[in-house]
Structure 1
Amino acid sequence: MAASLSLLAAASLPACQTRAVEGEPVNGVAADGAAAKPAVIDSAQIRAQVARRDSLLADSIMKKSGQLPGAILPGKRIVAFYGNIRSKGMGILGREPKEQMFRKFEKVLAEWRAADPSRGVQPALHNVTITAQGTPGKDGKWRLMNSNATIEEVISWAKEHNCILFLDVQPGHSTLQVELPKLEKYLKDPIIHLGIDPEFSLSTMPGVRPNQRIGTLDAKDVNFTVSFLARIVSENKLPPKVLTVHRFTRKMISNYKNIKLDPRVQIVMHMDGHGDPTLKKDSYQHYIVNEPVQYTGFKLFYEYDARPKPHHIMTPQEVIALNPSPLYIQYQ
């Protein structure tokens, strides 16, 4: 990977011209013999050229080998515990004491390994790191980011237990373009990946409080995120990042056909709805399978899927039997 991606950082400039042109400098000396002024370099243009060459080279590697070195999907199935380590109400990740939670997680991972011995299981933690809020806050954006200490703590949890980590973003009335750069320093770590949640993206809905209406993201927002991650991968010579995009209604993602793939970023469209198994399967079919992007995910809720009886939390065997079989599984 390092050998291949090291090429991505190199930018070629046109060869220097040695032929003199009247009034123009040659090798730093003006035609009249005076020292030439340094040429003005358009750094933005150079960055754009490098980014384009990065993308083309990455694409050529993918076409030759099928995927970039270090890619998690489709070789492994990711199984994640979701929540916020500072909240008991957001999911299993923060609901139970740390060691108790990890004991439960090990049992779940064993179930998935037994259900599909042909595919390795990649454990993951999925921490909601920028969270939509019930109050607007000082800047009126209805979202709050975890402290650096909290983020560092959940990173340490992941590394202690050989997990990858997803940092999830609920932008509220802010935007991904504003919020994602806050996470860049963490995303330079090869074990850290990203999730984005259209449900809590409300910048196009002035005055709407999170949870009052279901938010939305457009393909251009997903494409911005992919480009953002792809740049981090190239600049830091990292294996591909995984991007999960939550979805359980059609309007949560608009213009899905315009989402652009990049081998440096593996996109998972993740079925995020809860309810009885029949409803969940229908949602998976309607909003994930019928509007395909790349890979698929499926969410299981400890608190909501089993109510009311006789509903139940779907088993690994039931989820694996879906077509296509999801490669990202999340427990909340």
Structure 2
Amino acid sequence: MSYFRTFTRLTAPALASLGLAFTLTTLSGCGSRSGTDAENPSAAADSAKPVVVDTVALKRAAMQRDSLKADSIAKKNGQLPGAILPGHRIVAFYGNIRSKGMGILGREPKEQMFRKFAGVLKEWQEADPSIPVQAALHNVTITAQGTPGKDGKWRLMNSKATIEEVLSWAKEHNCILFLDVQPGHSTLEAELPKLEQYLKDPIVHLGIDPEFSLSTMPGVRPNQKIGTLDAKDVNFTVNFLARIVSENKLPPKVLTVHRFTRKMITNYKNIKLDPRVQIVMHMDGHGEPTLKKDSYHDYIQTEPVQYTGFKLFYEYDARPKPHHIMTPKEVLSELTPKPLYIQYQ
């Protein structure tokens, strides 16, 4: 990718066991856990009580547009039960388990990758002990292709076996799972229903990638130009996920939207929030730290939607020397607002 381009808390004993058999604390409520319930039986008992949902607070949360204030949203009565954000920081490994070239997820052998992931999660928890870390796998499931295919849509979906395998990896290691969509010359309306059966699982969430959305650019191959999605496309996705949440009585879904240019998302002010879906605008570009921070400011901070994310590239961020991959402490001290979704590619 060019520059144009259950729920848990980590504990030291958990990291020690199996290298990455994370023993993480299951959320019982609405993202308000401090992570101390395992040591406080009375807190665990309290968390098991029915959650009283303040509908006025929910409406206020649904209208929240300023990502600078996302961390201050009331966690108990401003979020639906089971919401991951803002009570956790999601840290994800990205890629495709069938490809060595798309990211750390798939590039290294499974157990080697999970050992590395354990170290990364530990670094993030130590960098900010105030918020529990939620481990995630982010698998590109519908991938833009260099050839048009039989239907001329320039995209290919993972097989059922591949999706079930990466889902099993996530469950084995107490991760949530993001299924990412690069629609090529297709549309989200056509592609998202293919994933509905998997999104009914409470640990499965969604990512959409405007870079590889080219339905408005006839004749353009993926990677020739940066694609685009409009607020109406994001709103369609939010409504699609919200329906699945309601029909299946699920906790809120997290939706990541990749972005590193202004035109990748048009009419952002028209994006409508819904407490059943938590939107993360995710700075997806690579490069040296100053460029990445500037992009985060220009396309994420100054055009806020709800929550924010930031990507780190193992292969590209450190080129050329002396550039380096930003550390968790650097990310947290140099970005405003502090991102609640971190992705490694």
SS of the aligned residue for 2:97 comes to: coil
Matches within 5 A, 1:53-64: 60=56, 62-63=58-59
SS in 1 for 2:83: coil
- Alpha-carbon contact 2:179-2:205 (below 8 Å) kept: yes
- Structure 1 residues 307-331: Cα deviation after superposition (integer angstroms, max 9, x where no partner): 1011000000011121100000000
1:242 alignment partner, one of 254, 257, 264: 254
Contact 1:58 1:264 in 2 (8 A): no
Query: For residue 62 of structure 1, what is the amino acid of its counterpart?
Result: L
Q: Which residue number in structure 2 is paired with residue 101 of structure 1?
A: 113
Consecutive unaligned residues of structure 2, counting only runs of 5 or more, are 1-26, 31-52, 61-76
Q: 1:225 maps to what in 2? A: 237
Q: Which amino acid aligns with 2:275?
A: P
Identical columns (%): 86
- Picking from 325, 329, 332, the partner of 1:320 is 332
* 3-state DSSP of counterpart to 1:180: helix
Contact 1:82 1:330 in 2 (8 A): yes
Aligned residue runs from structure 1 range 53-92, under 5 A = 60=56, 62-63=58-59, 65-92=77-104
1:69-218 aligned within 5 A = 69-218=81-230
Paired with 2:54 and 2:341, the residues of 1 have a C-alpha distance of 24
Distance 1:58 1:258, change over 3 A: farther
Residue 247 of structure 1: CA displacement? 0.2
Q: Give the conservation status (yes or no) of the 8 Å contact 2:29–2:81.
A: no
Give the aligned CA root-mean-square deviation in angstroms. 1.8
Matched, 1:283 2:295: yes
Q: Match of 2:223, SS?
A: coil
Question: Residue 92 of structure 2: SS of its match in structure 1?
Answer: strand
Aligned length: 280
Q: Distance in 2 between matches of 1:3 and 1:299?
A: 28
Structure 1 consecutive aligned stretches of length 4 or more whose deviation exceeds 3 Å: 1-4, 57-61
Q: 1:154 to 1:58 in 2, by over 3 A?
A: farther
* Aligned-pair CA distance for 1:59: 5.7
Distance 1:204 1:317, change over 3 A: same
Q: For 1:278 and 1:284, how far apart are their aligned partners in 2?
A: 10
Aligned to 2:50: none
Distance apart, 1:62 and its partner CA: 1.6
Counterpart Cα distance in 2 of 1:63 and 1:115 = 33
Question: TM-score, normalized by length of structure 1?
Answer: 0.82
SS at match of 1:204: coil
- Indicate the structure (1 or 2) with the bigger Cα radius of gyration: 1
Instruction: State the alpha-carbon separation in 2 of the partners of residues 107 and 96 from structure 1.
Output: 15
TM-score between the two structures when normalised by the length of structure 2: 0.79
What per-residue deviation string (whole Å, max 9, x for no partner) do you get for residues 214-248 of structure 1? 00000000000000000000000000000000000
Residue 309 (structure 2) aligned to one of 282, 294, 297: 297
Matched, 1:270 2:266: no
Change (3 A) 1:213 1:204: same
AA at the equivalent of 2:130? S
